[in-house]
């Protein structure tokens, strides 16, 4: 999520506590001339652009300061373009900013041309393109006529993904070690905290939805997906470096997870499942030409809904918190922190619940779909 704004958020809390807010407020009110001056060389605060920037993936991990030239961790770029090419994203962010005109809409478009090892490439909206005669051409807001090399960069989300995976492994290994060392005893420490979750997934998610004791086969997948989403959801709520990326609110990640569920559902489906699709019991034969396409679409809408649900919930949470914090910056007055900070705090707490709820829902619905595909006929 918004590291920059979370830091600002802390700053605002401090200001709201100290009676300094009046000084800031009066300074802002009495220096309209100064503000006008600022506007001339600084872009006006654009809420939607800032929010979109923070919920999308990036090749840098922005910490604080202005969007370009502020403090950031530059992440490695890995391109597959006639061989593997790796260099720092600093070569783009500190590269040449170029403005051109869209050929159709005639709007002005800004993009970055890389320097040093990135000299052949340009970056537009965090996407990397190969330069065409030293420039990019735009048609209707899109890059036209330039090759897009395969981009396997360690982006903000990828780094967050690695961190989340390592965190899960470290925590889970220590829990597994506890059981290996102590055997079947009452859990202590981390095991005491995580065991109820494992048992919850086993009993209330797997066992409740997959009948006849077949759940043990799918339990590792359900546990992995549950903890993967849960840990990454929580990491997304932490504003400091290893957290803060909108990983589980990224359509690519949710797409991958829902495709996994789809593949497992189809792989474990039995005759009864397909019979329900191609010859739904109790439906007159005349209706089957309508029912079969509907049922076919139904196979894909279920995981599609999973994908959209997780993506939309996590992204929406990030957007709301960012928007609430932005109230301060729209009004250019720290006193608004008295309104925006408690509201953002409330939403953050709500997001803790949502983080758990979405992990639960994803795992539960996955189990439900798998369970439905495994169900035997009972007529």
**Nearer Cβ to another protein, position 68 or 148?**
148
DSSP letter for each residue of 322-339:
HHHHHHHHHHT-GGGHHH
| Shortest separation between residue 163's beta carbon and another protein, angstroms | 10
Query: In what helix (H) or strand (E) does residue 190 lie, and over which residues does it extend?
Result: helix 190-200
**Nearer Cβ to another protein, position 21 or 233?**
233
**Nearer Cβ to another protein, position 98 or 202?**
202
CA angle 174, 366, 315 (to 5 degrees): 80
**Nearer Cβ to another protein, position 193 or 346?**
193
- Residue from 169, 162, 171 nearest 61 by CA: 162
| Shortest separation between residue 241's beta carbon and another protein, angstroms | 18
| Shortest separation between residue 227's beta carbon and another protein, angstroms | 8
- Tell me if 231 sits within 8 A of 167, measured CB to CB: yes
Q: Please tell me the distance from the alpha carbon of residue 124 to that of residue 61, in angstroms, as a whole number.
A: 17
Q: Write phi, then psi, for 322 (nearest 5 degrees).
A: -60, -40
Query: In what helix (H) or strand (E) does residue 38 lie, and over which residues does it extend?
Result: helix 32-41
| Shortest separation between residue 149's beta carbon and another protein, angstroms | 10
**Nearer Cβ to another protein, position 15 or 205?**
205
| Shortest separation between residue 253's beta carbon and another protein, angstroms | 5
**Nearer Cβ to another protein, position 255 or 343?**
255
**Nearer Cβ to another protein, position 85 or 295?**
85
Q: Please tell me the distance from the alpha carbon of residue 227 to that of residue 195, in angstroms, as a whole number.
A: 12
CA angle 87, 93, 97 (to 5 degrees): 125
Q: Please tell me the distance from the alpha carbon of residue 61 to that of residue 168, in angstroms, as a whole number.
A: 22
Q: Please tell me the distance from the alpha carbon of residue 41 to that of residue 193, in angstroms, as a whole number.
A: 53
| Shortest separation between residue 77's beta carbon and another protein, angstroms | 10
Region label for 149, one of left (φ > 0), alpha (ψ between -120 and 50) or beta (otherwise) = beta
Q: What is the DSSP letter of 202?
A: I
- Count Cβ neighbours within 10 Å for each residue of 55-91 and write b for 16 or more, e otherwise: bbbbbbbbeeeeeeeeebebbebbbeeeeeeebbbbb
**Nearer Cβ to another protein, position 17 or 251?**
251
Query: In what helix (H) or strand (E) does residue 343 lie, and over which residues does it extend?
Result: helix 337-374
| Shortest separation between residue 247's beta carbon and another protein, angstroms | 9
| Shortest separation between residue 118's beta carbon and another protein, angstroms | 16
Interface ranges with another protein (CB under 8 A) = 52, 55-57, 78, 125-127, 150-155, 157-158, 161-162, 165, 168-169, 172-173, 175-176, 179-180, 183-186, 195, 198-199, 202, 219-221, 223-224, 227-228, 250-253, 255-257, 260, 311, 315
């Amino acid at each position: 999520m918004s590291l920059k704004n979370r830091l600002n958020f802390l700053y605002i809390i401090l200001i709201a506590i100290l009676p300094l807010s009046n000084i800031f407020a009066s300074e802002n009110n009495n220096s309209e001339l100064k503000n006008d001056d600022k506007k001339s060389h600084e872009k006006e605060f654009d809420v939607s652009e800032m929010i979109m920037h923070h919920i999308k993936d990036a090749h840098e991990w922005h910490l604080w300061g202005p969007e370009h030239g502020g403090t950031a961790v530059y992440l490695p770029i890995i391109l597959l373009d006639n061989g593997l090419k790796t260099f720092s994203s600093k070569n783009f962010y500190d590269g040449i900013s170029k403005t051109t005109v869209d050929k159709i809409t005639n709007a002005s478009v800004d993009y970055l041309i890389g320097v040093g090892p990135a000299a052949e490439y340009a970056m537009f909206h965090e996407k990397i393109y190969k330069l065409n005669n030293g420039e990019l051409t735009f048609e209707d807001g899109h890059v036209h006529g330039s090759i897009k090399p395969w981009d396997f960069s360690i982006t903000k989300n990828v780094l967050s993904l690695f961190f989340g995976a390592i965190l899960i492994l470290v925590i889970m290994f220590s829990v597994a070690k506890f059981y290996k060392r102590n055997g079947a005893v009452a859990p202590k420490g981390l095991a005491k905290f995580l065991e109820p979750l494992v048992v919850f997934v086993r009993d209330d998610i797997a066992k409740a939805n997959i009948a006849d004791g077949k759940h043990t086969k799918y339990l590792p997948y359900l546990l992995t997906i549950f903890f993967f989403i849960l840990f990454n959801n929580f990491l997304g709520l932490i504003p400091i470096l290893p957290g803060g990326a909108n990983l589980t609110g990224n359509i690519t990640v949710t797409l991958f997870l829902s495709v996994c569920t789809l593949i497992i559902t189809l792989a474990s489906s039995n005759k009864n499942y397909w019979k329900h699709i191609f010859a739904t019991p109790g439906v007159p034969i005349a209706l089957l030409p309508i029912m079969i396409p509907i049922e076919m679409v139904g196979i894909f809408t279920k995981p599609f809904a999973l994908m959209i649900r997780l993506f939309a919930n996590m992204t929406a949470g990030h957007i709301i918190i960012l928007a609430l914090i932005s109230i301060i910056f729209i009004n250019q007055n720290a006193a608004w922190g008295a309104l925006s900070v408690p509201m953002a705090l409330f939403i953050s707490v709500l997001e803790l619940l949502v983080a758990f709820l979405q992990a639960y829902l994803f795992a539960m619905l996955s189990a439900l779909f798998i369970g439905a595909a495994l169900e035997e006929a009972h007529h």
